[in-house]
Structure 1
Amino acid sequence: MDGFTLERMRFPLKLTFAVVMALFIGFHFNLETPRWAVMTAGIVAGGTAFAAGGDPFSGALRHRGLLRIIGTFIGCIAALVIMISTIRAPALMLMLCCLWAGICVWLSSLIKVENSYALGLAGYTALIIIVSVDAQPNGSVLLAPQFAIERCSEIVIGIVCAIVADLLFSPRSIKNNIDREIDSLLVDHYKLLQLCIAHADKEDVDKSWADLVRRTNALNGMRNLLMMESARWKNVNRRLVALHTLSLKLITQAAETFLIQNSRPEYLPPQYKVLFEKPVNSVSDVHKRMKLMRRVITASSSKQTPITVASWVGNATRYLLLLKGIHSNSRISGTEEAILDGEVVIKAKSAESRHAIINGIRTFVATAAGSLFWLYTGWTSGSGCMVMLAVITALAMRMPNPLMMAKDFLYGMAVAIPLGGIYFMFILPATQQSLLLLLIAIGALAFVAGIFIQRRQLGTLGAFIGTLNILVLDNPMTFQIHTFIDGALGQCIGAFVATMVILLIRDTSKARIARTLLNRFMYAAVSAMTTNQARRNENHLPALYQQLFMLLNMFPGDIDKYRLALTLIIGHQRLRNADIPINAELSAFHKQLRYTADRVIAAHSDDKRRYYFQRLLREFDEYQEKLVAYDAPTTVTEPVKRLADMLNKYQNTLISV
């Protein structure tokens, strides 16, 4: 077990300070329900660290706090609108609120993961306000604005406390990690090219490029965190955007070099194989090899130089140029500007539409069932159960593994009951004469929880938040045992029901998403066959690799899918740069090919999809004949033939995954 160094202790101290500060402000200024401020500080600081697997980098916590503020305000407004519109129909009011929560979860599943938190929060905030008003003995719509204002103000206080704690306890800048990663990434790119030129074992090549895809995607995530940190990194951000594309191009060109040698072993002249035999261990080694390669390429004729190697060397040279600027954060030079403005980056469309609908249905079904049961029975623990149902289903659905997060809450609630019971019955009553003792008691809980949260111990975050919730840190504090039991039972049953809903309403969209992604790779390769210069300047590579990364996460052991997807991406890049003859007949045929490929994606039945795919294969045969008739060069006919053969070979996979 590793020792608790100062680095490891920083986050527990940060979490403790945030929670204690929120608690102190809540009681010092006599807030009605200071537990909202305390829980917000714990959720913002603890949730960010749990997701990061340690002390989060500077900026991540502030970004999450801002999203929480936005989501809270949207949810409060929605709650007021729903209540004012349906005050005379309580059942309809709750059903509309459940529908709102489901819609928010559905929409949050279609946007970027880092921004989905705000929509998920907006969904369950409205439900919490309405449930809190209905749970009052003299519940009235007049209380809704009061609850909304209190919740917003206390949440803002909790977020400010978390941000202050983050600033005081030396937030880690991610810049040093980025500097190390871009150096290491270039060295590993060179090693991948060495494997591909040597035509090494296929499994070794697969492992190397898959690792580089993951790291390149992670680098893009680090860039987002850097921009959350400070605006002074805007030049670094622009360079990292271009570097991300260059990294993907290096992967693609190295893999294409390997792929071509499968059918043409003579593709690489012997001197190039010799040039890439020498090992490299640092960026300076790669820099020296690039100087040598540029001299060799300049001295050789274009026919003797393999096009993929020449392209790789050119992109690696650009990578080195941007790398220096990232390290120094200097002004962007004219040469760099030409690299940065060279292409228009196209963003990927979501392939998770069905998955998003299932997420929304899960949230609606769970909260609606809880609402109807609560209304029918008048169960005193119903409000706590409803809140837990809304929180878990809203936050868990956007996770890669929703069931695992639901289990985290379920296990955490099981721990929260005895732990909360000890605090509620013995520790907190003894602190009522001194605010300092209360702060020490809650601070000790936060410190111990912080140690386990940064280790991503399953159940820890749920136990910490669940304990804070059932302690009922109101002002003034009361210690009625039935209130504690109601809260504890409601939380546990809510967590259990949410887990059951996730288990019973299964997400069957996995195969559909895989087929959609593979067909999009196919469409990208087909649409690259164009003579339209504006279309050729569009950079689809980041979007394609983002979808490939999704495929890697969904099917971690299916190497055949990765190879097919990567081969289609290679085909897209090669055809995008191919010298296709410019004439009206070929341009019209390109439109026809794109239309047919689009019909394959849009088809709702296997029969219709198969019909359009067979039509696409026939059109490819006709297109190849036209290329021969117009004397297209080998650099065009070869990748077109390779793409047609691959579509024919993998048609069953592309039609019915």
Structure 2
Amino acid sequence: MYWHQLRFPIKLTFALVLALTIGFHFNLETPRWAVMTACIVAGGTAFVAGGDPYSGALRYRGMLRIIGTFIGCIAALAIMITTIRAPVVMLLLCCIWAGGCVWLSSLVRVENSYALALAGYTALIIVVSADAQGKLLLAPQFAVERCSEIIIGIVCAVLADLLFSPRSIKNEVDREIEALLVEHYRLLQLCVAHGEREAVDKSWAALVRRTTALNGMRSNLMMESSRWLRVNRRLKALNSLSLMLITQAGETFLIQNSNSTYIPAHFRAFFEQSVESALDVHQRLKLLRRDITVGGNTYSPETISNWVAAATRYSLLMKGVHTNCNISRTEEDVMKDEVVIKLRSAETHHAMINGIRTFAATAAGSLFWLWTGWSSGSGCMVMLAVITALAMRTPNPLMMVKDFLYGMTAALPLGLFYFAVLMPATQQSMLLLCISLGVMAFIAGILTQRRQIGTLGALVGTINVLVLDNPMSFKINAFLDNALGQMIGCFVSLMVILLIRDNSRARTGRKLLNRLMYAAVSAMTTNKVRRQENHLPALYQQLFLLLNLFPNDIDKYRIGLTLIICHQRLRNADVPVNAELSGFHKQLRQSADRVIAARSDSSRRVLFQRLLDELDVYQQKLAQCEAPASVGDAVSRLIMMLKKYQNALVQI
């Protein structure tokens, strides 16, 4: 193995051993929480990244965990203070809190959802732990201890990350922005040549994914250090420019479907030459700019002229990203050009299902625990809350629950070996205890960065069932209760996800398409402020979500991309400034908004037909106002597009 493959296992081992040593040295009440936190923060980040995470990612996750823990502790104290005399009501409120936090976490950005999910199950863990031990009056002490132990675990994980050569993502960003420019040029070559539709679709989809990934790298870069603030600003603008390049290339392809002579012969010959690097693209851009300057707009296709202008700005900002130098006046003009607009989440129904799943699982577990008085009930409740809170935000919740189930099942024999054989033999030696647990962490680290299913769950589950008190008491009944509670909690979580089905996929897909339709309709405006708004990042974010929901449905992707192109055409169209047209623009936006808000297919179909009728009337009004032909053509293409794909936009 090379050093970069061993770096994360060593980092995880160091974090675990350091947390264990501090926990026993300061005689913490439950040192296993510090150890588990170090493993979850370090291991969870690596599992998501598929290897050693980049610098800053682990610290950011640790900060979110601290925030979520504090919010959860405050919520737990508030619930217990107000309902301590009614245990059923107290647990029910905790379940409602957990479900509400999961619902909200499904609506915010993925990287921030961890804090809300943690706040939800932290409150439940504190209440359940205090109730199980019959120490509800000591709840404030429980909350303070949990916060302090978690902070110790996070500090250990962050310190390990700083000591063992954290990887900077800056080099990856530099390579990716150059590779992305080359791929943009190759996409334009395909579109100019009007090649196979499947090849163009594949290239479009790949570029959307890579642009989204580059924007994610920007977030990681900001987690790493504040010295990348200038790079961050440039990358924000590069994200918009990359999306603009995709849109202009796509429009070049679509126009040729109805106008095969749109691209002059010499342009076709020019784009036949292949490129291998960003330097090649830079040289080709010089020739294109000279050709467009000499020939003028009447000689050069408009979409290619726009593409060249956007690619030139992209190249300018790319140099600034490489050097991280001061932002020049030219770059400032490029970055201040437009206001980027953000859209609301389209996954409202999915978020509601997530919240219901968490509430149903924890409420059923609470009632069963109160009714039976089962000794393993508290451990089962904790697993129900943790798994349903963390799994729901992942792209495949069922797979994550299976990962926990496999891991907790493996934790039973592994934990039994440690509990019955190794730990009794090492109880008198802190060094031997650290070595025995460190070996387990090292092996788990190797498997975790390979995304071996069940590994992280097995590590956390084993540490949880070992209890790690000082001094240790080896009660086999307590061990088996904890292990069985974990396994049953995972199994019940799996059953909840299977029984409460998430049927929001089709609903979300239809809502996303209708929002793209609304964006195209709302682009028809004479309001100067509205016309300066840049909706492209938000629209492509919706398109990327559509790609993730329907990875094999290329038709939905084509509809979405075509609607984005219609939006850009109408946004740049020279609509006449007219009071009557301005009033009709507002009416069209209201009609499109009603289509999105419709609750049934029948009412949606009626409202959609009304919108089409209004667009026909609008086209007549444009003719009466003697609008330029380009405006009428853009509106005609939108109407034709909406009529062609009416069923996909109306039905779930």
- TM-score by length of structure 2 reads 0.99
Residue matched to 1:436: 431
* Partner Cα distance (2:40, 2:582) in 1: 56
- Do residues 371 (structure 1) and 366 (structure 2) align? yes
Question: Which of residues 336, 342, 361 is equivalent to 1:347?
Answer: 342
- Do residues 129 (structure 1) and 148 (structure 2) align? no
- In structure 1, runs of 5+ residues without a counterpart are none
Residue matched to 2:623: 628
- Do residues 603 (structure 1) and 613 (structure 2) align? no
- Deviation, structure 1 residue 272: 1.1
Instruction: List aligned pairs for 1:606-617, cutoff 5 A.
Output: 606-617=601-612
* Partner Cα distance (1:473, 1:69) in 2: 22
Question: Which of residues 529, 540, 547 is equivalent to 1:545?
Answer: 540
* Partner Cα distance (1:637, 1:277) in 2: 33
* Partner Cα distance (1:183, 1:422) in 2: 52
Question: Which of residues 554, 557, 564 is equivalent to 1:562?
Answer: 557
Give yes or no for contact 2:237–2:335 (8 Å, CA) kept in 1: yes
1:535-587 Cα shifts (integer Å, max 9, x gaps): 01111100000010000000010000000000000000111011111111111
* Partner Cα distance (2:333, 2:21) in 1: 54
- Do residues 55 (structure 1) and 52 (structure 2) align? yes
* Partner Cα distance (1:578, 1:475) in 2: 74
* Partner Cα distance (1:593, 1:206) in 2: 31
- Deviation, structure 1 residue 232: 0.3
Residue matched to 1:108: 105
1:109-167 Cα shifts (integer Å, max 9, x gaps): 0100000000100010011111111111xx13221011101100000000000000000
Residue matched to 2:91: 94
* Partner Cα distance (1:601, 1:304) in 2: 42
* Partner Cα distance (1:288, 1:543) in 2: 32
* Partner Cα distance (2:36, 2:296) in 1: 68
- Deviation, structure 1 residue 274: 1.3
SS at match of 2:136: coil
- Deviation, structure 1 residue 275: 1.5
- Do residues 201 (structure 1) and 186 (structure 2) align? no
Residue matched to 1:449: 444
Residue matched to 2:15: 18
Question: Which of residues 186, 189, 214 is equivalent to 1:191?
Answer: 186
* Partner Cα distance (1:384, 1:595) in 2: 52
Instruction: List aligned pairs for 1:133-152, cutoff 5 A.
Output: 133-136=130-133, 139-152=134-147
SS at match of 2:234: helix
Residue matched to 1:230: 225
- Do residues 31 (structure 1) and 28 (structure 2) align? yes
Give yes or no for contact 1:84–1:141 (8 Å, CA) kept in 2: no
* Partner Cα distance (2:99, 2:621) in 1: 52
Question: Which of residues 646, 650, 653 is equivalent to 2:645?
Answer: 650
* Partner Cα distance (2:645, 2:120) in 1: 42
Question: Which of residues 169, 172, 180 is equivalent to 2:164?
Answer: 169
- Do residues 408 (structure 1) and 413 (structure 2) align? no
Amino acid in structure 1 at the alignment position of 2:566: G
Amino acid in structure 1 at the alignment position of 2:11: K
Amino acid in structure 2 at the alignment position of 1:426: V
Instruction: List aligned pairs for 1:133-532, cutoff 5 A.
Output: 133-136=130-133, 139-532=134-527
1:321-378 Cα shifts (integer Å, max 9, x gaps): 0000000000000000001111111112100111101100000000010010000000
Give yes or no for contact 2:23–2:34 (8 Å, CA) kept in 1: yes
* Partner Cα distance (1:140, 1:23) in 2: 26
Larger mean CA deviation between 586-595 and 356-365 belongs to: 586-595
1:165-209 Cα shifts (integer Å, max 9, x gaps): 000000000000000000000000000000000000000000001
Residue matched to 2:81: 84
* Partner Cα distance (1:639, 1:407) in 2: 50
Give yes or no for contact 1:606–1:656 (8 Å, CA) kept in 2: yes
Question: Identity of paired residues, percent?
Answer: 71
Amino acid in structure 1 at the alignment position of 2:25: H
- Do residues 591 (structure 1) and 586 (structure 2) align? yes
1:241-262 Cα shifts (integer Å, max 9, x gaps): 0000000000000010000000
Amino acid in structure 1 at the alignment position of 2:221: L
* Partner Cα distance (2:566, 2:33) in 1: 54
Amino acid in structure 1 at the alignment position of 2:58: L
* Partner Cα distance (1:387, 1:157) in 2: 21
Residue matched to 1:580: 575
Amino acid in structure 1 at the alignment position of 2:7: R
- In structure 2, runs of 5+ residues without a counterpart are none
Give yes or no for contact 1:246–1:316 (8 Å, CA) kept in 2: yes
* Partner Cα distance (1:140, 1:13) in 2: 39
SS at match of 1:624: helix
- Do residues 73 (structure 1) and 62 (structure 2) align? no
Larger mean CA deviation between 486-495 and 596-605 belongs to: 596-605
SS at match of 2:615: helix
SS at match of 2:53: coil
Give yes or no for contact 2:297–2:305 (8 Å, CA) kept in 1: no
SS at match of 1:529: coil
* Partner Cα distance (1:538, 1:295) in 2: 30
Give yes or no for contact 2:574–2:631 (8 Å, CA) kept in 1: yes
1:575-616 Cα shifts (integer Å, max 9, x gaps): 101111111111111111111111101111222211111011
Q: State the aligned residue count.
A: 652
Amino acid in structure 1 at the alignment position of 2:387: I
SS at match of 1:154: helix
* Partner Cα distance (1:310, 1:474) in 2: 70
1:13-46 Cα shifts (integer Å, max 9, x gaps): 0000000000000011111110000000000000
* Partner Cα distance (2:400, 2:167) in 1: 26
- Deviation, structure 1 residue 315: 0.1
RMSD: 0.7
Amino acid in structure 2 at the alignment position of 1:585: E
Give yes or no for contact 1:348–1:546 (8 Å, CA) kept in 2: no
Give yes or no for contact 1:12–1:447 (8 Å, CA) kept in 2: yes
* Partner Cα distance (1:179, 1:325) in 2: 10
* Partner Cα distance (1:32, 1:353) in 2: 41
Give yes or no for contact 1:106–1:359 (8 Å, CA) kept in 2: yes
SS at match of 1:308: helix
- Deviation, structure 1 residue 421: 0.4
* Partner Cα distance (1:550, 1:475) in 2: 49
Give yes or no for contact 2:422–2:436 (8 Å, CA) kept in 1: yes
* Partner Cα distance (2:620, 2:364) in 1: 62
- TM-score by length of structure 1 reads 0.99
SS at match of 2:218: helix
